[in-house]
Amino acid sequence: MDMKRSYQYFAKHPHFNAIAHTLAGIGIGMLLVYPIFEGHTVRYGLIFLSLGLALHAYPLFIGKK
């Protein structure tokens, strides 16, 4: 897999880049506050983090080869 393709995709699609990083950041933030606010934060944190990681992997599997 070529990381250059991922960098080019994120450079051409700034809104996609912002969404991917925002979702990953929300997921990391929710996992960090778990000791303070127990409950569903781990579940939601993992969901947001996995969405962010999936959006990071998306440019690697799609597009011109």
Each domain of the chain, given as residue ranges in start order, spans 3-61
Rama region for 58: left / alpha / beta (φ>0; ψ in -120 to 50; rest): alpha
Q: Give ∠ CA 21-10-27 in degrees, rounded to 5.
A: 15
Residue 34 is classified by DSSP as T
Mean pLDDT of the 1-13 span: 83
Percent of the chain with pLDDT over 70: 94
pLDDT in tens, 31-49: 888 777 777 788 889 999 9
Banded pLDDT at 53 (limits 50, 70, 90):
very high
What pTM, to 2 d.p., does this model score?
Answer: 0.81
